[in-house]
C-alpha cells in the first residue's frame, strides 16, 4: 500500500519555514484543488496522481520519498523487500 504523508510534510515545513501553511495557499500555488488536497490529508491511501505528487514536491520543496511511504500489503510481499 502506498501512503501519502502530506500532513506530516506540511507540519515539518511549517516548522522549517516558521509560519502556517494553509490548504488554500497550497491549492493556489500548485493548481491542485482544495477538495483534492483535503482528501489527501484525510485519507492517506488516496490515489494521488503523479502530476499532483510532482506539484506538491515542487511547492513543498521535498523529495518524493518524503511525501509517500510504501508498506507491503501482505506478508508474502515483505520477503521481497528484505
- Dump pLDDT digits (tens) for 57-72: 999 999 999 999 998 8
All three cell numbers of 56: 506538491
All three cell numbers of 66: 518524503
Delimit the domains of the chain by residue range.
Answer: 2-81
Pairing assessment for the beta strands 2-4 and 68-70 based on DSSP bridges: antiparallel
Contact 60, 9 (CB under 8 A): yes
Other CB atoms within a 10 A radius of the CB of residue 48 amount to 19
Grade residue 74 by pLDDT with cuts at 50, 70 and 90: confident
What's the topology of domain 2-81? 434 Repressor (Amino-terminal Domain) (1.10.260)
Amino acid at each position: 500500500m502506498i501512503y501519502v504523508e502530506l500532513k506530516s510534510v506540511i507540519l515539518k515545513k511549517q516548522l522549517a519555514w516558521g509560519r502556517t501553511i494553509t490548504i488554500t495557499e497550497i491549492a493556489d500555488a500548485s493548481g491542485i484543488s482544495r477538495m483534492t488536497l483535503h482528501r489527501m490529508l484525510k485519507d492517506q491511501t488516496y490515489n494521488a496522481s503523479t502530476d499532483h505528487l510532482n506539484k506538491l514536491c515542487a511547492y513543498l520543496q521535498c523529495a518524493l520519498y518524503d511525501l509517500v511511504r510504501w508498506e507491503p500489503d501482505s506478508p508474502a510481499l515483505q520477503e521481497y523487500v528484505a
